[in-house]
Chain A
Amino acid sequence: MSIFEAIWQAISTILSNKLRSGLTLLSVALGVFAIFIAGSLSDSIDSTVENQLNDLGENVFMIKRMPSGGFGGRNWRKYRSRPRINLKELDLLKREVKSTKLISGFASDGGNVVQSIYTESPSDVTISGIDENYFMNYSRSIAEGRPISAGDLASNNQVAVIGPDVIKRVFPFSNPIGEKIRIQSQEFEIIGILEEKGAVLGNSQDNMVLLPLNLYIKYYSNRWESIDISVNALSQDKLQNTLGETIGAMRLIRNLSPVEDINFEIETNEALTEQFSGLRQTITIFGLLVGIFTLIAAGIGITNIMLITVKERTREIGVRKALGAKSRWVLYQFIIETITICQIGGLIGVLVAITLGKIFASQVDFTFVISGFWIIFAVIVTTLLGIVSGYYPSWKASKLNPIDALRYE
C-alpha cells in the first residue's frame, strides 16, 4: 500500500465530510498553533533579551528607583515610597566611585512632538536626557557630527543629538547638522546624528532626541522623574568589586545605616535575564498546556471521525480484504490517513502562527524567530496525535471479517 494513496485517501476523507473534518482540522490547527506560538515566542524573547543585554554591554549594571518591567507587582507599596534618584545623587556617585568613571545618568519621556523649520513630527518621539558616558554604556555611536560632551552639560549648551527616524520626518531635504529643532518651548542646535540601531522589544531606538541631562530635567521632567544610572565596570573581573563599591556609595549618599535595606534597585544583566526567563517560562508553559489540552480534545474528535469513516467504508474494507489486503495493511492505511489529517491540521496551525507572528512582529518591531526545532516538534506531535487517536478505529477496521464487511449495507 503506497503512502501516497493513503494520503490521497485521507484528503478525500476530509473532503467528503467537510464540516466534521473542518472542525477537527481547526482544533488540531489551534493546538499546534498554541504550541508553536509559545515555543517561537519564548525563542523570540530569548533573542530579543540577548540583543538588549548586548546593547547595554556585558559589564554594565543599573541603579534605578524601580525594577524594570512589571515584574515586581507584589512590592508596589515598598517601591512607591522610595526616593527618586536626582541629579545631585548622580553627581555625588560619580565623585565617590573610584573603580570606574563610566557612570551615566539617563531619563526619558516618550510621545513628544519635534518641530523643525520645515515641519513637525507626530507626537511619538522619545526625548532622553543623557550625559557624556551614555554613548559608551549603551553602545551607541554617532554617524555624523559629535556626541554630547561633559562640557555641554557644564555650560548648559542647548544642543541635541538626534536619531535617523526623526531626521526622516523633520529634515526630509537637508543635512540637519547645525539646524535648530524645537521641543515645546525650547530650541536646540543639532550637533550629531545617531547611528541607526533598529528596535528593542518593540521600541524604536532611532526615533529619539538626546539632550543634555541637566536641561532635560530642567525643561521636561516632572517631580516624579527619577534618573536611571548605568555603571560600566569595564570587565567581568571588576564587576563584583564595582557593584559593592557603588552600593556602598549610594548607601552613604542616602545616609542608610548598615542594617537598613537599600531603597534603590540594582539591576545586573543576570537579574534582567532571570526576570525575562521567568516571563519566558510562563509563556512557554501556558502555551504548551493550552496546546496539549486542545490537542487532546482534537484527538478525541479525530478518533470519532475515524470511527465514523471506518463504519461508512466497511464495504470498501471488505473489498480490500477480499482482494488480498492483510489486516496489517488495513491498519496502516487508516493510521496513515489519520496522521495525514493531523498533519494537514498542524500545517494550517503552523502557517497561521507564522503569518500572525510575522504581522505582530512587524507591528511592534519585535523579532519573531521561526525555528526549525518548533516546526519539527509540530510534525512529531501531529504524527503522535495521528497514531494515538487513529489506532483504535484503524485496529477495528483491520479486524473486520471480510464476508460481513462485504455484506454491510
Chain B
Amino acid sequence: MSNSVIDIKSIKKVYKMGQEEVHALREVSLNIQQNEYVALMGPSGSGKSTLMNILGCLDTPSSGNYFFRGKDVSKLKDNKLAEIRNREIGFVFQTFNLLARSSSLKNVELPLVYSGLKKKERDEKAKNKLTEVGLGDRLDHKPNELSGGQRQRVAIARALVTNPSIILADEPTGNLDSKTGVEIMKLFNDLWKNGNTIILVTHEEEIAQHAKRIIRLKDGLIETDEINSNPIIYN
C-alpha cells in the first residue's frame, strides 16, 4: 500500500448531454504501484481517455474517490489540480501538442516555468532531458523542423522534466509509423527501467505487449486486468 501511486475506488463518470446521460465510466476501481508499466486497451468509446483524464487530474470523477499517493484528489479545485499536474504528472499525447512557435528547449522548459524555476535552472534541466532522449543536438529546432518521432521525443522530455510520479501516454504512437513507434517504445522501456511509472493507452496489441500489465476496458467497466506473462523487453 505504501508504494501505491494511484488508488481509485468505484469511480464513475457521467456526461450529461441535454436529457441524455452518457456513462463513460460505470464503476472502476484500480490500484497502480510505483514503477508499474500498464497498458490500457479497449474498443473505441470504452472510456480509456476518460479514465486517463481523471488519472491525470485534468478532470474529476462524478463519484468515487481518487487517492494520488495517498491523498484524496477527487474533489480538488482547478488550481490545486493544476499544481498536481505540474509536479506529479507527465503527459504524452498522440498529437504531441508542442507549442509550434517555440524551440524544443522552450517546449521542454514550459512545465518548469509554471513551477516557478529560474531561467538558468530551467535551461539546464531541459537540456539534460533533451539529451537523455537523444535530442541534445536539436535544442533550437522548432517542431516543424523535426520528424514525428523527434517531436514525440521532445514531448517525452517535456513530460519527464519535472521528475513526475507517473507518465500518462494516450496513444503515443498513434501518429507514428511502426518503425518510429518501436523507437518510442524503446524509450518508454528505458524510462521504466529507470524506475518510472508508466500508463499508456493503445489500440495496438503489438504496442500493448511492451507493458507488464494489461487492463482492458469495455463500456466503462474493467473487463480484464492481467499481468503480461511475456512482455517485450529491450536491453
A interface with B by C-beta (< 8 Å) = 1-2, 5, 12, 16, 315-316, 318-329, 402-403, 406
Contacts and interface: CB of A to CB of B under 8 A. Distances in A.
B99 A324 contact: no
Contacts, number: 57
Interface string B53-94: 100101100000000000000000011001101110001010
Contacts of A324: 82-83, 85-87, 111, 114-115
Nearest to A316: B99
Given A319-B97, A402-B58, A403-B53, A326 B110 contact: no
Given A1-B113, A2-B113, A325-B114, A315 B97 contact: yes
A314 to B, nearest CB: 12
A311 to B, nearest CB: 15
B119 interface: yes
List the 5 shortest-distance A-B pairs measured between CB atoms, nearest first. Answer: A324-B86, A324-B114, A323-B111, A319-B97, A326-B82
A323 B99 contact: no
B119 A403 contact: no
B193 interface: no
Contact of B58 (A16, A315, A322): A322
B114 A329 contact: yes
Contacts of A316: 99-100
Contacts of A318: 97
A282 B200 CA distance: 71
Interface string B180-198: 0000000000000000000
Nearest to A319: B97
Secondary structure at chain B's binding surface: helix, strand, loop or mixed?
helix
A403 B87 CA distance: 18
A40 to B, nearest CB: 38
B101 A323 contact: no
17 contacts: A1-B113, A1-B114, A2-B113, A315-B97, A316-B100, A319-B97, A322-B97, A323-B91, A323-B110, A324-B111, A326-B79, A326-B82, A326-B83, A329-B114, A402-B58, A403-B58, A406-B93
A16 B100 CA distance: 12
Interface string B159-203: 000000000000000000000000000000000000000000000
Given A2-B119, A403-B59, A327 B79 contact: yes
B78 A323 contact: no
Interface in B78-132: 78-79, 82-83, 85-87, 91, 93, 97-101, 110-111, 113-115, 119
B74 to A, nearest CB: 16
B82 to A, nearest CB: 5
B85 A323 contact: yes
B153 interface: no
B129 to A, nearest CB: 14
A4 to B, nearest CB: 9
Contact of A325 (B58, B82, B98, B100): B82
A323 B86 contact: yes
Interface string B31-71: 00000000000000000000001001011000000000000
Contacts of B99: 316, 319
B213 interface: no
B78 A327 contact: yes
A12 B82 CA distance: 26
B210 interface: no
Contacts of B79: 326-328
A402 B83 CA distance: 14
Contacts of B83: 324, 326
B12 interface: no
A315 B96 CA distance: 11
A328 B58 CA distance: 17
A406 B170 CA distance: 12
B158 interface: yes
